[in-house]
Amino acid sequence: MQELFVPGIMLMILIGIAFVTGRLAEAAHERALRRDEQLLPNQHLSTEDHAPEDIVLRYSRMVTGKVVIGEDRFRNLLARLRIFVGGRLGAHEATITRAKREAMLRMRTDAKGASHITGIRMTTAQLGRGMVEMMVSGTALYTDKRPSGGFPSALPDDGINISHKNLLVEFTSASAAFLFICWGIYAASGFAVEWATRQISIEDEIAIWSDLEGDYIIERRSDDERSLPERYILDLINSIPKSALGPAAAYDFEVVIIPDETPNAAALPGGLILVHTGMLELVDTENELLSILGHEIGHYNGRDHLEGLGRQAVGVALSAMMFQADAVLTTWIAGWPKMLADLDYSRSQELDADKWGLDIVMAKYGHATDVATTFAKLAMMQEDESMLDYLGTHPHPMDRVRRLNKMVADRNLPLGEPIPLQTAFERYVDALEGQSTIYDEYEAPEGSE
Amino acid sequence: MTKNQNTAAELPVVTISHIPGREISENLGIVFGSSVRSRSFLFDIFAFFKNLFGGEVRSYTRLLEQAQTEALERLVKQAGVMDADAVVDVHFSTSQVAYKAAEIFAYGTAVRLK
């Protein structure tokens, strides 16, 4: 949520500046056009291919006028939104009319002294997006008449070619329509992604993921390459009875400890579980640690890690379709519908994962002590943080604590004696020392105990 | 200003430089009409598939039709403001002002008839 606000405000300011400068430039151009059109003597302009018969022609010459006008960022954005929903691009019509008048004006300046310009043709070039190009050509006739036709010989400025709509109103309605359509597609794609993730087997997932992120996913490290705490956590996961793991039993798990103070853990595709050192500092007993790990394993059972990826891909594809050139806009706009659609969805995913966590702790220890302790700690930590976090994708930790405690009470699960993490870890190291020599090379990462 | 309400049917618009059977008395200058339109992304997707297999892209044809009609309407309206009797030597041209949006414009010479 917060990461959307700051760039959002910056974008709004930039677009606001573009709006103001664009309006100023337009007004200045409009004034200059009106003044110059008045200054030039009236010439007879026509698109006819022949010269009028009532003149004595001295000589003739080809004349041209060209102009390229750049659109401001605001109108560009408006046009892009409009292209998405379809319809008339009112903002561009004003620019195009100005371009025509300007090109015509330059041609007439080129034909100074001529009384007639016949065979006028207009054409455009395509130099780039967000630019309006106009080329006018004609044949200037220098005759015995003075260039004062007395007709409105400039292009008429009656505004018939411009849909008079307030730019801001148009912008608001266009963005509302755009966001609504995006949200609709995004929500609908959620079901498609959910279906698709259930079709992908775990073997395929590992194969695809190691292709995509070959550097990130570790090629099955051997025990020597893992740090001792990582080995400990991995062995803890592997010691869970396979029957309690559910579908996730097919994964060959890997654990990586990330030196990060925020208490967090994450399930990545391919069975890679990330644990922050902040989380290890937060938990006091092995039971607590397993409740967190069980929660992450629960995410694998829900295939939540794939769904997140799929939905992100849909969001990015959607906005990239419309805003190819604008990386900042793409990521920002993609963020909104994704967040809206994910809000409800993720809550149910998290609660499902909590349920798996409880089952795993029960299977391993035979009692449900400490299943909710870590979530209670997280809830205490979050209380003094900003309200914005509560709107995030994770359910309120206190709700989770209540829900977990209720589950324990409803099922009449027994409580028992938790194993302090320190004791469990030391016991693990002692056991290793007894059977191998790896212990000599061991250096504990900071904050891992 | 009754001529303001002229429609294309009442005010002759031709692509040749004279109105057959009538004589031009006065040349009033250039008039033009333009229209910028786009189709929504849904039609873009249909068009993409049409591009794969070939065939007429009807939604885009309709877009051109609408834009052309509007451009002509505006041209006639402009001629009406100038109190013209006809528009001769009309030409069409297009430009691509924005990605996937097309401008159709028509321009011609407004004339008064004898």
Residue-wise pLDDT tens digits, A55-94 = 888 888 899 999 998 888 788 778 877 777 778 887 788 8
- Cβ atoms A176, A79 nearer than 8 A: no
Contacts of B33 in chain A (CB under 8 A): 160-161
Alpha carbon distances (Å) from A104 to A100, A111, A262, B105: 6, 11, 65, 15
Using the predicted structure, report yes or no on whether residue A327 has a pLDDT greater than 60.
Answer: no
Out of A46, A100, A152, whose CB is closest to B109?
A46
CA distance B6 to chain A (A): 14
β-sheet with A272-276: strand ranges across: A254-258, A272-276, A265-268
Contacts of A100 in chain B (CB under 8 A): 32, 34, 105
State whether B17 and A49 contact (CB < 8 Å).
yes
Q: Please tell me which residue of chain B has the smallest CA distance to A116.
A: B29
In this prediction the ipTM stands at 0.79
Residues of chain B with pLDDT under 50: 1-8
The residues on B that touch A, with CB distances below 8 Å, are: 17, 27-41, 43, 74, 77-78, 81-82, 88-91, 93-101, 103, 105, 107-109
Give the mean model confidence (pLDDT) for residues A410-437.
78
Tell me the two tokens of residue B48. 């993409």
Residue-wise pLDDT tens digits, A345-386 = 566 777 788 888 888 888 888 777 777 777 777 777 766 554
Size of interface A-B (CB pairs under 8 A): 138
Contacts of A322 in chain B (CB under 8 A): 41
Q: Where are the domains of chain B?
A: 2-113
The model's confidence at residue A139, banded by pLDDT at 50, 70 and 90, is very high
pLDDT the model gives residue A340: 53
CA distance B37 to chain A (A): 4
Using the predicted structure, report yes or no on whether residue A407 has a pLDDT greater than 70.
Answer: yes
Beta bridge partners, A143, equal: A57
Distance of alpha carbon A390 from alpha carbon B85, whole angstroms? 70
- CATH fold for the domain made of A2-148: Translation Initiation Factor IF3 (3.30.110)
Q: Where are the domains of chain A?
A: 2-148, 175-441
Alpha carbon distances (Å) from A130 to A68, A75, A332, B41: 10, 8, 21, 19
Using the predicted structure, report yes or no on whether residue A213 has a pLDDT greater than 80.
Answer: no
CA distance A126 to chain B (A): 7
Which run of H or E residues covers position A427?
helix A421-435
CA distance B55 to chain A (A): 22
Instruction: Name the more confident of B84 and A152.
Output: B84
Which superfamily does B2-113 belong to?
Hypothetical protein apc22750. Chain B (3.30.110.70)
- Find where tokens 């805003």 sit: A323
CA distance A186 to chain B (A): 15
pLDDT the model gives residue B90: 92
State whether B36 and A92 contact (CB < 8 Å).
yes
Using the predicted structure, report yes or no on whether residue A403 has a pLDDT greater than 70.
Answer: yes
Using the predicted structure, report yes or no on whether residue A439 has a pLDDT greater than 50.
Answer: no
Range among A143-152, A212-221, B90-99 rated most confident: B90-99
Which of A43, A76, A92 should we substitute to test contact with B (largest number of B Cβ atoms within 10 Å)?
Answer: A92
Instruction: Name the more confident of B2 and A423.
Output: A423
State whether B17 and A133 contact (CB < 8 Å).
no
Angle between helices A327-365 and A304-322 (to 10 degrees): 170
pLDDT the model gives residue A442: 47
State whether A120 and B97 contact (CB < 8 Å).
no
State whether A132 and B97 contact (CB < 8 Å).
yes
Residue A266, CB-side half-sphere exposure with 13 Å CA sphere: 15
Tell me whether strands A254-258 and A57-70 are parallel, antiparallel or unpaired.
Answer: unpaired
Contacts of A325 in chain B (CB under 8 A): none
Helix/strand/coil for A432 = helix
Please classify residue A218 by burial: count the beta carbons closer than 10 Å to its beta carbon, then call 0-12 exposed, 13-18 middle and 19+ buried.
middle
Long-range contacts of A167-172 (CB under 8 A, 24+ apart): A167/A19, A167/A74, A167/A75, A167/A78, A167/A91, A168/A19, A170/A78, A170/A82, A170/A90, A170/A91, A171/A74, A171/A77, A171/A78, A171/A81
Contacts of B60 in chain A (CB under 8 A): none
Using the predicted structure, report yes or no on whether residue A5 has a pLDDT greater than 80.
Answer: no
Single-letter residue type at A170: E
State whether A45 and B17 contact (CB < 8 Å).
no
pLDDT the model gives residue A28: 92
Distance of alpha carbon A340 from alpha carbon B91, whole angstroms? 50
Contacts of B108 in chain A (CB under 8 A): 47
Out of B37, B91, B94, whose CB is closest to A89?
B37
Contacts of B15 in chain A (CB under 8 A): none
